Amino acid sequence: MATGKLRSLIFDVLQDGRATLSVLDQLALPHETKYCEVKNVEDAWDAIRSMVSRAINPAILLVGLSLVCSYTVSLLQRIRGAPLIAIVAVLGLAVDLTSNDKTISELNAAPDAKQFIHLKMDYLKTSRPTAVNLFNAIQELMDIVDKAPDSTGDIVTAIVTHAQFMLERDVADNKAIGNSGADDLLSRFPEGVRLVTICNTGSLATASWGTALGVARELQSRGKLESIAALETRPYNQGSRLTAYEIMVEEMNGTLICDSMAASYLKSKGADACVVGADRVCANGDTANKIGTFNLSILAKTFGVEFFVASPFTTLDTSLASGDQIEIEERPTDEMINTGNAPKGMSCWNPAFDVTPATYITGIITEKGVLKPDADGRFDIKGFVARHS
């Protein structure tokens, strides 16, 4: 499996059939590289939604100020990124169903094993609302479970097999996205490309490699990445904590800028294209991505810079006509207070994502090619999906 240098997770299936999963604790980056074990669906849910440890009794947290601080920090996510959220949910289920703890006996005792597993999948879907990858991955798995023979062993084997397949497919898709994006950009900028990106869309947001950052990685491997600027990405700082780290590991010619510097950067330094990830792309091309992406798209238009969304097929959601229908997750107030050194108790509005209207988007880079708008400026996502499914 071709991978980047960073591993967002380690998944293994032992000889006795048990699956094991450890996820890179992205909260500890860039200072520390440590992995946390995911033992069941509850751990997977927590790793996606928050890092509140089930081992800690909240009452104990009231004992001292330092512990209270660790509780507030713990509202942040340990793993994130649309593809990785979906993958950890599926792998977490595989681990849960093959573990030695009470799940396996509960499963064997359940009158309807498929129903028992459906409940776990429904629970995983409640972890985060905006990225469609999670819902698509669970739906795909539900179909596999429903089609599997009725024996518990066969159902669990089908889930573990699919989990392994999903990991390999994600890396292959990411590599194809990188190739499509690099080919397209180099057709207009053959000497080299100057990129701007936001949030983290690299190895740390996927099984490995990355989507938008995968395009940068592919350009770099062809010797054609002139430069890449990463927006800090307030308030959770995925750009400064994670993308800057990936840029350094990959030895790209990168520059970190605060979100508020993007206009000045585009004006004074210049760029050929912005490439961003996606959490959901609607039927008309409207795209939900990390908060601040919409701002960047407006700036790109102002300065005549191309603006690309890089997303796997699993992020296209033809069931929603436009971005108005996307549920935008609001994160806890404390995440803004703690990461921004604001006074405790200040009221905050903390949406995790925004929607970039399709009219601001130059093209959507997928593993099946780059979709461009028609002569009227409209994206036909439904047609694209139908042609490539």
Ligand X SMILES: CSC[C@@H](O)[C@@H](O)C(=O)COP(=O)(O)O
**Residue 131 contacts ligand X per CB under 6 A:** yes
Q: Contacts with ligand X in 156-215 (CB under 6 A)?
A: 199, 201, 205-206, 211
Among residues 82, 86, 89, 371, the one that binds ligand X under rule CB under 6 A: 82
Q: What's the closest the beta carbon of residue 57 comes to ligand X, in angstroms?
A: 28
Contacting ligand X within 16-55 (CB under 6 A) = none
Closest approach, Cβ 348 to ligand X, in A, equals 16
Q: By CB under 6 A, what part of segment 248-277 binds ligand X? A: 277
Size of the site for ligand X (CB under 6 A): 17
Question: Catalytic residue among 43, 46, 279, 317, which?
Answer: 279
Does the active-site annotation cover 279? yes
Whole-number Å distance between alpha carbons of 293 and 328: 14
Task: Tell me the closest approach of the beta carbon of residue 236 to ligand X, in angstroms.
Answer: 6
| Binding to ligand X in span 284-303, by CB under 6 A | 289-290
Q: Is 241 in the site for ligand X (CB under 6 A)?
A: no
Binding of ligand X at residue 238 (CB under 6 A)? yes
Pick between residue 199 and residue 381 the one whose CB is nearest to ligand X. Answer: 199
Q: Does residue 80 touch ligand X according to CB under 6 A? A: yes
Contacts to ligand X by CB under 6 A? 80-83, 131, 199, 201, 205-206, 211, 238, 277-279, 289-290, 352
Catalytic amino acids? 279
